[in-house]
Amino acid sequence: MQVNEQIIRNVVAQVLAEVGPMPGNGRAVATPSLTAPSLTAPSVTTPSVTGKHGVFQDAESAVVAARQAFEQYRDCPLADRKRVIDIIRRISIDHCEELGRMEMEETKIGRLEHKIEKLRTLGERTPGVEMLETKCFSGDHGLAVIDRAPFGVIGAITPVTHSLPTITGNAVSMLAGGNTVVVNPHPAGKKVATEGVRRFNAAIAQELGIDNLICVIAEPTLESAEALFKHRSVALICVTGGPAVGRAALRSGKRAIVAGPGNPPVVVDETADLDNAARCIIQGGAYDNNLLCIAEKEVFVVESVFDDMMAAMRRAGAHELNAAQIATLTSQAIVKVGDDQHDAPGKDFIGQDASFLAKAAGVAIPDSVELVFGETDEHHPFVSVEQMMPFMPFVRARNIDHAIDMAEEYEHDFRHTSIIHSRNVHNMTQMGRRLDTTLFVKNGPSMSALGLGGEGYLSFSIAGPTGEGVTTANTFTRERRCSMIDELRVI
Ligand code: NAD
């Protein structure tokens, strides 16, 4: 009888994993014939011994396991990749309530109904292998086919604002591209990250016989992120988060895909449908209590319709705060941080409900109110800071040029997302050119740019700084060319 060495290795790895950590160095002891992985030969298939179903205690064992999984996965046909994606989609949809609730209980930010909806829509709408583009050149000298190949193991860093959703979207795109992934989640979202990854892998292992396609570091730290950045078996890095992690990834010496911060401005001109603008600003700005990087963060309205716009916001159900209430809220919700004492959102206020913000401002409003808003000047910290809480500052602009000037200033060159409400195509064109953002939305809520109410597709990693845009399977692949000289052009 033929004995498949890989199957034996997998069985041994699984048994060792079930035996659990051993005293001493904290790892189970490998059998003498299955010695520690060699970093100089990452393709050698030595079993991981510290984890199971993708859950690992440290970066080293997670990367080794992900590399082993990649060695198996690379031999699978595209049909198997589709099966893997279908499994992730199914779990994301079927378990969205339970996992969404878990994320809410752990992170304590955002809105439960949106935590659940994010997982469900990611399962439904994140594109898979169909995004992989093949190009072909056919001519007198034969054929050249350009295909998309995997990188191998990808190191991913994910934010607390969407812990499992980012992992889910990344996993679909990265695995559709033929890669495996090791995730260093935000420490404040590590439990749901770990549980989601465990469920994905358990189901994939049962159906395909490959474990650890998606690995997670169960106790993530800045050091474990750094270890991922430096590991020679990590071929590509993808970070989703604020400015510090983006800078760290770009310093790593590896290719990095950076889905960085935003501070999306909204411009409203005198031609806009103000009631529609109000509904859209509430829908986008209040979604998950303003945690989305694409979410509306400040609004510049031309003077001639400013008061009408504020009335439209009130009609649409938002609650207006007066100047004194805004000042009271600001004194608690915006804090000074860092050596330069710059303004930042207070941790206790990020992702909290509008009623919580109103209470801090000294006013009681029903929990059903999704957004509080009010007039500020352009120098107000709520305008310049990515607040990630459902208070929306509205600023008067002298005219459209002034509104676009301020929008450009407070987008801070993140080139992430901007939004205009207008029926004037010239104004739209001017703003689109000036702000040069990755997403530019006209007459809709911010999320319509991700296929949620508009055309296009969904991802929770939008790579502005490094230019890949809304990430898909294609983003996580390398171009390879296969040339046949002088033959196989059969026409
Ligand atoms: P964060 O920057 O505090 O953390 C993001 C991740 O980076 C976490 O896992 C954190 O542990 C890690 N990290 C932070 N500093 C690091 C460093 N120096 N080295 C290694 N790892 C480091 O952000 P957050 O509060 O979790 O998430 C909110 C931020 O993420 C916002 O700025 C938001 O705009 C951004 N975001 C962007 C996108 C996008 O697609 N562009 C999507 C979601 C969130």
Which atom of ligand 1 is closest in space to residue 160's alpha carbon? 26
Compute the half-sphere exposure of residue 284: CA atoms within 13 Å on the CB side of its CA.
33
Strand partners, 183: 156, 216
CATH code linked to domain 265-455: 3.40.309.10
List pocket residues of ligand 1, CB cut-off 6 Å: 157-162, 185-186, 222, 225, 240-242, 244-245, 248, 259-262, 293, 386, 460-462
CA of 143 to the centre of ligand 1 (A): 44
CA of 285 to the centre of ligand 1 (A): 19
pLDDT score recorded for residue 11 = 44
Question: Taking the model in full, what pTM does it have?
Answer: 0.90
CA of 464 to the centre of ligand 1 (A): 14
Average pLDDT, the chain: 92
Interval 43-74: pLDDT, tens: 444 444 468 999 999 999 999 999 999 999 99
In this prediction, residue 5 has a pLDDT band, given cuts at 50, 70 and 90, of low
- In angstroms, rounded to a whole number, what is the distance separating the alpha carbons of residues 163 and 113? 15
Amino acid at 86: D
Which atom of ligand 1 is closest in space to residue 459's alpha carbon? 40
- In angstroms, rounded to a whole number, what is the distance separating the alpha carbons of residues 400 and 423? 13
Atom 23 in ligand 1: residue holding the nearest Cα? 241
Atom 16 in ligand 1: residue holding the nearest Cα? 245
Going along 338-416, which residue ranges are E strands?
A: 342-345, 372-375, 391-397
Model confidence at 232: pLDDT above 60: yes
CA of 158 to the centre of ligand 1 (A): 6
Model confidence at 162: pLDDT above 90: yes
The DSSP 8-state label assigned to residue 182 in this structure reads: E
Atom 8 in ligand 1: residue holding the nearest Cα? 186
- In angstroms, rounded to a whole number, what is the distance separating the alpha carbons of residues 171 and 193? 12
Q: Kindly give the residue spans of alpha helices, DSSP state H, lying in 95-250.
A: 96-107, 112-125, 163-176, 190-208, 222-230, 243-250
CA dihedral 230, 235, 240, 241 (to 10 degrees): 20
Strand partners, 375: 394
Written out in words, the top-level CATH class of the domain with range 6-24+48-260+469-478 is: alpha beta
Which atom of ligand 1 is closest in space to residue 260's alpha carbon? 41
List the domain boundaries for the chain.
6-24+48-260+469-478, 265-455
Strand partners, 397: 302
CA of 237 to the centre of ligand 1 (A): 14
CA of 241 to the centre of ligand 1 (A): 2
CA of 155 to the centre of ligand 1 (A): 14
